[in-house]
Structure 1
Amino acid sequence: MYKSVIIGTGPAGYTAAIYLARANMNPLVIEGLQPGGQLTTTTEIENFPGFPDGIMGPELMDNMRKQAERFGAQFKSGFVSEVDFSKRPFKIKIEGQDEIEAESVIISTGASARYLDIPNEQEYVGRGVSTCATCDGFFFRNKKIIVVGGGDSAMEEASFLTRFASEVVLVHRRDELRASKIMQDRAKSNSKITFALNRTPIEVLPQDMGIRGLKVRNNETGQEEIIEADGLFIAIGHNPNISFLGEQITTDPLGYIVVNPGTTETNIPGVFACGDVQDSKYRQAITAAGSGCMAAMDCERFLEGSSVHDWSETLDQ
């Protein structure tokens, strides 16, 4: 049995591991299918404090992992397929491996950006294709950018990108936007934003080490068109990675884990959540790391406050 198991990595999971390891909690980190999380697909990160010249995403994640390992955190490769939070010790099933038990669990499985699933999209993530305007907008100063999406997030991303871009083209497959009226009005009143509605993206067009635009289908005429651009930002939402939880943890309508305000506590005592899996608003490496610190401290205090036996008796009552 482990005192604490961290499901997932990224800046939130690794930070939680660093704090718990330094507190002699000997945490086990289950790394999942993509150790390091979304930042391992990011090239240069310029907005993480402490790196004035920037740092590559994979390097930052590798450094965090080594730091946690230095203090005694253990790591296990594998994908968590099922958990049982009905009583302590909690049970965690790793696909193809033995079941493990834990006195406490920190969930740091993140959220996966939704993609268009069109040719050349995945190959050019970090090389012209992005899902985070805050992260990558700076790299497209005075460039033409395409934003795909029709909801509030797409309007917000498009408006934000006009701080850098010379022009932003918002592509949406329907003839009407789904965004709230106030967000639509804000985007429509921005002289840098133009709209290409009723267009379905069908292929990212590569060029050297970047992209040269997006091929779309005009849904009215059926004709294929090319929208030239230096960058493509996909803003069609995120999916929190929670399928292994079943219905044991309370989530909001979008699927993000609900935590008690000002804490990382979930509806189940002894189970905590940090990072993008519980954050639909900020989704930044630095805020994820901060919530990882919070989760570790919440977890440590929980473990110090009650034993498995004491808590089991409380649940039975």
Structure 2
Amino acid sequence: MSSVNKRALSSEDLMQTALNLMERLTTASNASVDAASFARDASISLEQTNEVVELLQGVADERSGSHIALDYQDGAITLSGDAGRLDPVRLTPAESLALRRVLTTCSIGDDVRGRVETALCADPETDDETTVDKTMGGDRLLGGFYPVISEAIAIGARLAISYRAGDECGPNTRLVDPKLIEVSGDAAYLVAWNVEKDAQRSYRLDRIAHAELTDDSVERHDFSPYSAAESLRAHGADATLHFVNSGELASRDWEGIHRDTADEQEDGSVLVHISYTSVPWLFSQIAAAAGAIVIEGPESLKNDFRTWAKSLL
């Protein structure tokens, strides 16, 4: 094979060909490929193949610092050791949940979705089944900035987020040190340290209007291992709701329900205390229940609900 009949390789072509060679070497059972066959498949000359090999021999593994060991002799290219080996991409359980959510929301065909999940997602047995069910069911969203938030957690970077709390008309900026993402109830939450308030907070991902990495690293904080339900109890407002029966109560998976306070009445209805952070969300849930849920107290919340309901007419 002569280089005369082959076009010159641009730096981009050279890099792509090098990646193709590493993929072939990684998947080969003996980590070796025939140089002439590879050159033919890549439409390059043997001289250009040697250029590719020399390029790869100068590359070091980013984790270990070890150089890629390639042996090119007797017409064969052989990879020695693990430096540069192209491991298959496998997402973490949390990343898998996000991908599955996107695949479902976008109505991707079952065959395509199956291949993508098999290739990328963590094995089902490594996922927490309860978390998977909570994430995939209903109308739960991970918002539009999951990749940025996930990266910030991974590299320990401080985040500037634009966040709309339930009682706010629009988003406001928070500077936070992210800790983890927790899927709980009907939403996913970013557990983080609010730098301005110097306190731990949870932020619903679907209420984050923007997220951006800052140049600062996170500081060490004394995070409490409380759940979203405990966070609601600590920072939310309280109310008492009247459910028409225990079945209506059981069908709600709201994290803010204090189920230990449920008091069944003689007529089968149930009084229960709840914690909430979003008044519009609470009012929407009560309105959607069409009389099956009524606000028992406080009186000010009942009056606010009447005003809200009239505004919809």
TM bucket normalised to smaller:
under 0.3
- Structure number, greater radius of gyration: 2
The two structures have a TM-score, normalised by structure 1, of 0.24
More helix per residue: 2
